């Protein structure tokens, strides 16, 4: 660190040096984030100093967070949004961590592996203590598991490591949606819960959440829906779209929690995720485990993963959700879907086809000849690099199949869509 402070102008010049290296989202068709709505930015600045983690000092902020959760629960078809329980998080990863954490705690509590049993080797029902459970866990006798689709976001790999949970990956159908029979076949006595995805990262597909809900009810397991991307899309699709009316949220009785990200299609500022549980009481003892007394703060307890939390994120989400309303989000989704249609048509003109008919604004396009997956992957990676090096386009690749992946976010224009496909065609004609 420098000994003497620098002048403001010098610092601002330095900051420009850094920010000039960042994208301004021009020619970016790889990101699931976008330029925030101006009202979200204004709200963010207004609450830049506020901490939702200290709700007594920041009462207005705490109230605003409650209202964001209620609005989200309403969008997610909760029958009584005022009874939903949740938090603003830093995004999809944190929401997923917290949801799975509660599944694990609930599972251990249901086996009466609670702290209260610590002193006795076996409680009165003959169940094991926490220490015994951990010891068994280490030996691999009691390896808890989570059943999720193969298409689940990589955040679940982190969760498996953090929470010492085995991931049991259910088969997917040709449209990359989880196969309910495969989910059922993977459930065993150590399964802590199920995951469904509404808008998977690579293909934008939605799992059959109604079938997963039925399985969750049958096996009495919690079901978390990762709608980080799709949560601000499915409820707002035009009636003519095939994905319109997709059920993925609280109207299905087995769904216990849903996450959706304002910092993706919610048009808010990074970092902002929303995690909504059906109600507080379903968390029961699991909440007790994470809830800690906060004697030196104004609130009595904290039950979130993080402590100090940016209220600015809640303010931004609140502002943009209120400002756009359902109508505004419908327009936003309609714009992205129109772009997706154009993209689809432009692809066809050059003899390319998406792997599957896009339900939402993600299009995955194979560019290999389909003979050898490793050759196809190599070609796909090369084309991705050349699109950037020669033409400045940022696109991504899928991992489940060798294919280019394009996300048609609100910052993308029709001109971009036409331009990127024309450049892609040039590369393919050059027989890369
Ligand atoms: N879940 C899904 C379906 C996602 O697509 C993503 C990110 O792309 C995440 C979770 C993780 O979100 P974040 O990067 O905001 O933590």
The pLDDT tens digits of the residues spanning 294-317 come to: 877 777 778 888 888 999 999 999
The answer, yes or no, to whether any atom of ligand 1 lies below 6 A from the CB of 197, is yes
Q: What is the pLDDT of residue 124?
A: 37
- Do the bridges between strand 85-89 and strand 273-277 make them parallel or antiparallel, or are there none, so unpaired? antiparallel
Strand order across the 404-407 sheet: 362-365, 404-407, 396-397
Residue linked to tokens 């048009």: 267
| Segments of the chain with pLDDT less than 70 | 112-141, 432
Residue linked to tokens 């991307």: 229
Tens-digit pLDDT profile for residues 118-171 = 444 443 334 455 555 555 555 555 799 999 999 999 999 999 999 999 999 999
Residue nearest to atom 13 of ligand 1 (CA): 92
Give distance in angstroms: CA of 112 to centre of ligand 1: 33
> What b-and-e string marks burial along 258-288, b requiring 16 or more CB atoms within 10 Å of the CB?
bbbbbbbbbbbbbbbbbbbbbbeeebeebbe
pTM: 0.92
Give distance in angstroms: CA of 22 to centre of ligand 1: 20
The answer, yes or no, to whether any atom of ligand 1 lies below 6 A from the CB of 103, is no
The answer, yes or no, to whether any atom of ligand 1 lies below 6 A from the CB of 229, is yes
Q: What is the pLDDT of residue 96?
A: 98
Taking the CA of residue 227 as reference, the ligand 1 atom at the shortest distance is 3
Taking the CA of residue 197 as reference, the ligand 1 atom at the shortest distance is 3
The answer, yes or no, to whether any atom of ligand 1 lies below 6 A from the CB of 228, is yes
Cα–Cα distance, 343 to 353 (Å, whole number): 10
């Amino acid at each position: 660190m420098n000994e003497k402070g620098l002048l403001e102008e010098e610092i601002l010049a330095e900051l420009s040096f850094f920010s000039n290296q960042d994208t301004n989202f021009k020619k970016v068709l790889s990101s699931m984030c976008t330029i925030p709505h101006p009202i979200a930015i204004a709200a963010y600045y207004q609450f830049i100093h506020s901490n939702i983690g200290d709700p007594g000092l920041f009462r207005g902020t705490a109230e605003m967070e409650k209202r964001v959760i209620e609005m989200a629960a309403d969008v997610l078809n909760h029958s009584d949004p005022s009874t939903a329980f949740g938090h603003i998080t830093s995004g999809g990863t944190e929401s997923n961590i917290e949801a799975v954490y509660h599944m694990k705690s609930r599972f251990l509590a249901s086996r009466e592996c609670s702290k209260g049993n610590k002193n006795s080797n076996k409680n009165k029902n003959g169940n094991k203590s926490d220490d015994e459970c951990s010891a068994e866990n280490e030996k691999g006798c009691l390896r808890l598991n989570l059943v999720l689709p193969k298409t689940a976001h990589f955040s679940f790999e982190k969760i498996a490591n953090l929470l010492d949970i085995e991931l049991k990956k259910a088969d997917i159908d040709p449209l990359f949606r989880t196969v309910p029979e495969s989910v059922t076949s993977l459930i065993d006595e150590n399964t802590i819960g199920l995951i469904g995805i509404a808008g998977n990262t690579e293909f934008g597909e939605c799992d059959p959440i109604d079938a997963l809900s039925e399985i969750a009810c049958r096996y009495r397991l919690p079901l978390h829906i990762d709608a980080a991307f799709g949560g601000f899309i499915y409820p707002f699709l035009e009636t003519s779209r095939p994905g319109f009316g997709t059920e993925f949220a609280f109207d299905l009785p087995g769904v216990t929690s849903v996450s959706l990200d304002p910092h993706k299609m919610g048009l808010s500022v990074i970092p902002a995720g929303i995690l909504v549980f059906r109600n507080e009481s379903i968390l029961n003892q699991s909440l007790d485990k994470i809830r800690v007394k906060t004697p030196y703060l104004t609130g009595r307890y904290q039950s979130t993963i993080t402590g100090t939390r940016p209220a600015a994120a809640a303010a931004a989400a609140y502002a943009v959700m209120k400002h756009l309303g359902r109508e505004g989000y419908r327009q936003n989704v309609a714009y992205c879907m129109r772009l997706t249609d154009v993209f689809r048509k432009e692809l066809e003109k050059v003899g390319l086809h998406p792997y599957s008919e896009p339900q939402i604004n993600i299009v995955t396009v194979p560019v290999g000849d389909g003979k050898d997956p490793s050759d196809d992957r190599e070609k796909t990676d090369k084309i991705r690099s050349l699109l950037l090096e020669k033409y400045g386009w940022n696109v991504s690749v899928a991992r489940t199949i060798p294919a280019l992946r394009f996300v048609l976010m609100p910052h993308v224009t029709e001109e971009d869509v036409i331009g990127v496909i024309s450049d892609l065609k040039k590369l393919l004609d050059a027989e890369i």
